[in-house]
């Protein structure tokens, strides 16, 4: 019993004597652990698949499985000279690409290729994911702008040109807002903002 009391008193005296150093050491350890966690979050690498053209084929290299897969056998054709694709914002499992005049949504994990539209421009395609990856925003060859709900698979037209308008293009997609510009035959431009969920738009300037 006396021995236990002696050990406890020794420990207590040590803590009292080196109290500041112990507290400082614990504080440094906490800061160090927190810093490592924050840095790891900042520099965390997203395992996005690499999509590229090889031997006239559209190829995907899965950075998780380290496997290469041919998505389209004959990709570089006279109808499809440019590679147009976009990654999702929050997941490494989705990306969209254009083949000839067809827009596809590709699920990396399930290796499912879903056709979204068939009249998209192959030379230059406006393709965007909303910030939450809930919608795919795109324009077709007639400059009509659409939102595609990835979960429900419902497609809605946001805007289409009237007789007095020449062309339109998507300027940006922020959150679920689609900002697009319409130019008329006299080269006058009008800026609009639309809600991808409600398919309603307002004239800005």
Please report the pLDDT score of residue 65 as a whole number.
80
Please report the pLDDT score of residue 41 as a whole number.
47
3-state SS of the chain: helix, strand, coil percent to 5? Answer: 20, 45, 40
Distance CA 83, CA 73 (A): 14
Q: Which residue has the tokens 């840095």?
A: 39
Mean pLDDT rounded to a whole number for the chain: 76
Q: How many CB atoms within 10 Å of residue 99? A: 22
Model confidence pLDDT, tens digit, residues 178-195:
888 888 777 788 888 888
Q: Which of 42-46, 63-67, 139-143 has the highest mean pLDDT?
A: 139-143
Please report the pLDDT score of residue 135 as a whole number.
93
- Give 5 or 194, the one with higher predicted confidence: 194
pLDDT at position 29 over 60 = yes
Q: Is the distance from CB of 199 to CB of 157 less than 8 angstroms?
A: yes
Please report the pLDDT score of residue 153 as a whole number.
92
Of the candidates 117, 140, 134, 105, which has an alpha carbon nearest to the alpha carbon of residue 198?
134
**Residue 69 bridge partners (DSSP):** 60
In the numeric block, which tokens belong to residue 76? 């570089």
């Amino acid at each position: 019993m006396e021995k236990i009391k002696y050990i406890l008193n020794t420990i207590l005296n040590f803590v009292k004597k080196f109290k500041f150093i112990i507290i400082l050491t614990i504080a440094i350890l906490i800061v160090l652990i927190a810093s490592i966690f924050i840095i790891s979050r900042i520099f965390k690498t997203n395992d996005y698949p690499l999509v590229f053209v090889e031997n006239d084929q559209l190829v995907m290299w899965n950075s998780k499985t380290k496997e290469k897969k041919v998505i389209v056998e004959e990709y570089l054709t006279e109808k499809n000279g440019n590679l147009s694709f976009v990654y999702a914002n929050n997941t490494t499992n989705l990306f969209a690409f254009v083949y000839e005049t067809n827009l596809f949504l590709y699920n990396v994990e399930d290796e499912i290729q879903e056709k979204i539209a068939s009249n998209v421009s192959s030379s230059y395609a406006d393709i965007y994911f909303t910030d939450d990856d809930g919608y795919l925003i795109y324009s077709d060859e007639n400059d009509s702008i659409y939102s595609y709900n990835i979960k429900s698979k419902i497609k809605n037209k946001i805007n289409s040109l009237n007789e007095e308008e020449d062309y339109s293009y998507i300027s940006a997609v922020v959150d679920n807002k689609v900002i697009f510009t319409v130019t008329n035959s006299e080269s006058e431009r009008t800026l609009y903002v639309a809600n991808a969920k409600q398919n309603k738009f307002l004239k800005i300037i």
